[in-house]
Amino acid sequence: MLTIEPAEMQHLVETLGAIGEQPGGGIIRHVYDAAWSAARRQLMAWMQEAGLVVREDAVGNLFGRIEGDSPRTILTGSHVDTVILGGRYDGALGVLSALAALRALKRSGARPRKSLEMVALCEEEDSRFHGNFWGTRAMLGLVRQEELDDLTDLDGVTIGEAMRQAGFAPENYPSAIRDDLDAFIELHIEQGRILYDEHQPLGVVDAITGFYRFRVTVEGRTDHAGTTPMDLRRDALQAAVEFSSEMTRIVSEAGRPAVVTNGWWDVQPGAWNIVPGHVEFSVDFRHTNEATKQRLAAEIRARGEAIAKERGVGIAYDLAGDILPMDMDAHVKAELQAAAEACRVPWKPMVSGAGHDSQIMATKVPTGMLFVPSADGRSHSAAEFTTPEDAARGATVLVAALQRLAY
Amino acid sequence: MLTIEPAEMQHLVETLGAIGEQPGGGIIRHVYDAAWSAARRQLMAWMQEAGLVVREDAVGNLFGRIEGDSPRTILTGSHVDTVILGGRYDGALGVLSALAALRALKRSGARPRKSLEMVALCEEEDSRFHGNFWGTRAMLGLVRQEELDDLTDLDGVTIGEAMRQAGFAPENYPSAIRDDLDAFIELHIEQGRILYDEHQPLGVVDAITGFYRFRVTVEGRTDHAGTTPMDLRRDALQAAVEFSSEMTRIVSEAGRPAVVTNGWWDVQPGAWNIVPGHVEFSVDFRHTNEATKQRLAAEIRARGEAIAKERGVGIAYDLAGDILPMDMDAHVKAELQAAAEACRVPWKPMVSGAGHDSQIMATKVPTGMLFVPSADGRSHSAAEFTTPEDAARGATVLVAALQRLAY
């Protein structure tokens, strides 16, 4: 059994994590920017040093390959870009685990049956362009020509211009398409607190959640807070509060993995002494089963309409997203579980409540995901942390899984 | 019986309402500004024309007097300042009804037993300085010397400087004190929708509401909206929502005149995909009975603490105001009721859910209030409206009440 050591993972995480790190803490590494390019140069150096065949595609996905008997390829990795002031682990740990795994396998000297590749995907976080899994989509032929001009950053730079400035030829994007992939495995931090709270070292993902997102607008009547008796009010806030509370009850009663969040509120006119006449708030509802997702979303919507009717206020919904959940491939998942057993690493079946490249990859390639613990559930923050021991256990299971799939 | 005609009230309202009116509608007439001074000049002209003895005090309260056998005085009126973009009726209608009443009484020729005065109080709305019933407080000896320098407007002008610029000598403020008042009657628009909805022309006020105002801060934990199961959250928003809903239930069940409003909300970090970790919202709770007010306020606070404990979130309260309710004088109230009966104007006992000069005046002078309907309950808006007929009925009852009290 090939074992990855905690010290190796710690060194990799610290080295890559210093690239794009800001003076006050937190990393900014956006697709096609200088820190992103520097991070890729570091990865290239590591891969070359390990004897991997290094290649980048037309959109900037970076690969390191071990040629096997067959050109059919087992791919592993994650994304190298970060959110604004992100941490060292989200995405990066999947790339670095892939690196550690492939260089261990290369060192072992055995030639694989299938070819093996690691990948640093160029864009996942949507934090410079609304690229929406740009790197993965390019590999699957899901990028549309017009996106090169239509996707712009806050400075008005198009993604095509940004690619050219970073040394890529945007018009070549179709050459990024891959049809040689037999499997994709992504190791990622959980970004939640389940493994951490339960002291479990590993999760094997069953499914990635689907989203149903909409904005609720409640129209009541603005009234004087002193002179309008409670029984004569059409208080938009109280209707919104009841709706928020009810949808939370519905989703809580449905049990895991259903989640709903009302994270954004706008209460107007927003004065202490005026009954609110207009309230908007966001609904972010997620479930890994599409039928259940649609049933609960319909139940939530109907409950809101009933509350509005009872209270004599108006209600409107603006759909902001309805994204399908994605099951992981049964065979890949079984190999990940078997690899964990073989390595004697306890594992837990999990769902991913966050979106990942894997959910796009899974539309065309048999895909599986491994989760490692996030300390205190933190993510998208400089405070992200996974212990070197947990990182090493995850990478060791990844090596074992790659052996099972490619050797 | 002396009767005030709708046309007279309409003319007065339209003439005074044009002073300080803004191009897009709505009046700005703040204490000591140009529009305020112009409005007082118009009132002075009307009072002089009617043969009233005109006088202003050191802070700018404006009086018109009919001398009686006794120097003891029955006073009636309201405030002449407006909120920003206020309407033609709030305050103004009480001043104009007093004017209509006194000139009708003057025209009648009979000399009153007690002296009669109308007043345009200089400041009630708090919209330039936090004057907090400045004019009334000056008359009752409740202004403190240091307020002349401490109260400033948004431009940093002190109320003392503003007085001087408007032609008053601020250091003379103690000369405004009155000890000759036997009663004060204030006619005011309801600022609510009870009379309007019930097609009642008049309210006789039993009591003016007390306030209990505080800001609630709920501290939960910020979490990822996708990766944190419902049962592991410490969602500050859901705790706040339950508390808001519960206090509304408590107050609604207590029945009229209890009211509570959560008009202002700040939900942080305010992202669609993050469970809110910090929520603040305002509580404006009002009741006309102090014991009930304190009992319900304590019940609300305790309920919030229980909810916070159940949900494992922190809760804190910042008191923003605890103001006593004020009963109207039984004798003055009886005379107002008798006057309404004599005029065959149906009346309804009411409480005032808004604050008024009368609640300060009532601390030292027997005080009563008449309410006339506000169309659709509107106030503090250019859309304020009371029909000329309702205004005239109110002024007619005011005349009859002044006759009962002073003749």
Query: How far is B138 from B131, CA to CA, in rounded Å?
Result: 10
Model confidence pLDDT, tens digit, residues A236-259? 999 999 999 999 999 999 999 999
pLDDT bucket at A317, cuts 50 / 70 / 90: very high
Query: How far is B406 from B354, CA to CA, in rounded Å?
Result: 28
Whether the per-residue pLDDT at B126 is higher than 90: the answer is no
pLDDT score recorded for residue A302: 98
Whether the per-residue pLDDT at B194 is higher than 90: the answer is yes
pLDDT bucket at B131, cuts 50 / 70 / 90: confident
> Hey, are the CB atoms on B227 and A282 less than 8 Å from each other?
no
Contact A89, A13 (CB under 8 A): yes
Contacts of B70 (CB under 8 A, 6+ apart): B113, B114, B115
Partner residue facing A227 (CB), from B260, B276, B354: B354
pLDDT score recorded for residue B164: 97
Query: How far is B113 from A13, CA to CA, in rounded Å?
Result: 94
> What would the mean pLDDT of A372-389 be, rounded to a whole number?
94
Model confidence pLDDT, tens digit, residues A145-187? 999 999 999 999 999 999 999 999 999 999 999 999 999 999 9
Note which residues in 100-119 of chain B have CB less than 8 A from chain A: none
pLDDT bucket at B130, cuts 50 / 70 / 90: confident
Residue B157 has a CB neighbour count (10 Å cut-off) of 15
What residue segments make up the domains of chain B, in order of their start? 6-208+325-406, 210-323
Whether the per-residue pLDDT at A126 is higher than 90: the answer is no
| Chain A residue nearest residue B270, CA to CA | A264
Partner residue facing A230 (CB), from B235, B244, B252: B252
> Hey, are the CB atoms on B354 and A231 less than 8 Å from each other?
no
pLDDT bucket at B380, cuts 50 / 70 / 90: confident
Question: Is B404 at the interface with chain A, CB within 8 A?
Answer: no
Note which residues in 291-320 of chain B have CB less than 8 A from chain A: 320
Average model confidence (pLDDT) across chain B = 96
User: What's the per-residue H, E or C state across chain A?
Assistant: CCCCCHHHHHHHHHHHHCCCECCCCCECCCCCCHHHHHHHHHHHHHHHHCCCEEEECCCCCEEEEECCCEEEEEEEEEECCCCCCECCCCCHHHHHHHHHHHHHHHHHCCCCCEEEEEEEECCCCCCCCCCCCHHHHHHCCCCCCCHHHHCECCCCCEHHHHHHHCCCCHHHHHHHCCCCEEEEEEEEECCCCHHHHHCCCEEEEEEECEEEEEEEEEECCCEECCCCCHHHCCCHHHHHHHHHHHHHHHHHHHCCCCEEECCCEEEECCCCCEECCEEEEEEEEEECCHHHHHHHHHHHHHHHHHHHHHHCCEEEEEEEEEECCEECCHHHHHHHHHHHHHCCCCEEEEEECCCCHHHHHCCCCCEEEEEECCHHHCCCCCCCCCCHHHHHHHHHHHHHHHHHHHC
| Chain A residue nearest residue B276, CA to CA | A263
User: In terms of Cα–Cα distance, which of A238, A285, A278, A283 is closest to A263?
Assistant: A283
- The nearest CA of chain A is from the CA of B240 a distance in Å of 9
Question: Is A253 at the interface with chain B, CB within 8 A?
Answer: no
- For B2, the 3-state DSSP assignment is coil
- The nearest CA of chain B is from the CA of A236 a distance in Å of 10
> Hey, are the CB atoms on B191 and A272 less than 8 Å from each other?
no
B143-to-B52, B121, B136, B139, B377 alpha-carbon distances in Å:
28, 14, 9, 9, 33
pLDDT score recorded for residue B127: 86
pLDDT bucket at A130, cuts 50 / 70 / 90: confident
* Alpha carbon A49 to its chain's center: 30
Q: Which backbone phi and psi does B363 adopt, to 5 degrees?
A: -70, -20
> Hey, are the CB atoms on B270 and A263 less than 8 Å from each other?
yes
Partner residue facing B264 (CB), from A191, A257, A271: A271
- The nearest CA of chain B is from the CA of A58 a distance in Å of 32
Greater pLDDT, B39 or A323: B39
> What would the mean pLDDT of B396-407 be, rounded to a whole number?
98
Percentage above 90 pLDDT, chain B: 94
Question: Is B358 at the interface with chain A, CB within 8 A?
Answer: no
Question: Is B228 at the interface with chain A, CB within 8 A?
Answer: yes
Q: Which fold has domain B210-323?
A: Alpha-Beta Plaits (3.30.70)
What is the interface pTM, i.e. ipTM, of the complex?
0.87
> What would the mean pLDDT of A259-274 be, rounded to a whole number?
94
First-residue to last-residue Cα distance in chain A: 13
Question: Is B194 at the interface with chain A, CB within 8 A?
Answer: yes
> Hey, are the CB atoms on B274 and A261 less than 8 Å from each other?
yes
Whether the per-residue pLDDT at B1 is higher than 90: the answer is no
List chain A residues with CB under 8 Å of B286.
Answer: 225-226
Question: Is A245 at the interface with chain B, CB within 8 A?
Answer: yes
Question: Is A252 at the interface with chain B, CB within 8 A?
Answer: yes
> Hey, are the CB atoms on B224 and A191 less than 8 Å from each other?
yes
Question: Is A219 at the interface with chain B, CB within 8 A?
Answer: no
> What would the mean pLDDT of A341-366 be, rounded to a whole number?
96
Whether the per-residue pLDDT at B129 is higher than 90: the answer is yes
pLDDT bucket at A70, cuts 50 / 70 / 90: very high
Instruction: Report how many Cβ contacts below 8 Å link chain A to chain B.
Output: 201
Whether the per-residue pLDDT at A132 is higher than 90: the answer is no
H or E element: which one contains B379?
none
Asked whether the whole model's pTM tops 0.95, one would answer no
> Hey, are the CB atoms on B377 and A209 less than 8 Å from each other?
no
Query: How far is A336 from A359, CA to CA, in rounded Å?
Result: 17
pLDDT score recorded for residue A111: 96
List chain B residues with CB under 8 Å of A245.
Answer: 238, 241-242, 245
> Hey, are the CB atoms on B225 and A258 less than 8 Å from each other?
no
> Hey, are the CB atoms on B263 and A237 less than 8 Å from each other?
yes
> Hey, are the CB atoms on B265 and A270 less than 8 Å from each other?
yes
pLDDT bucket at B94, cuts 50 / 70 / 90: very high
Q: What is the CATH superfamily name and number for domain B6-208+325-406? A: Zn peptidases (3.40.630.10)
Partner residue facing B262 (CB), from A193, A226, A237: A237
- The nearest CA of chain A is from the CA of B262 a distance in Å of 7
Cis peptide before A257 (omega within 30 of 0): yes
Question: Is B223 at the interface with chain A, CB within 8 A?
Answer: yes
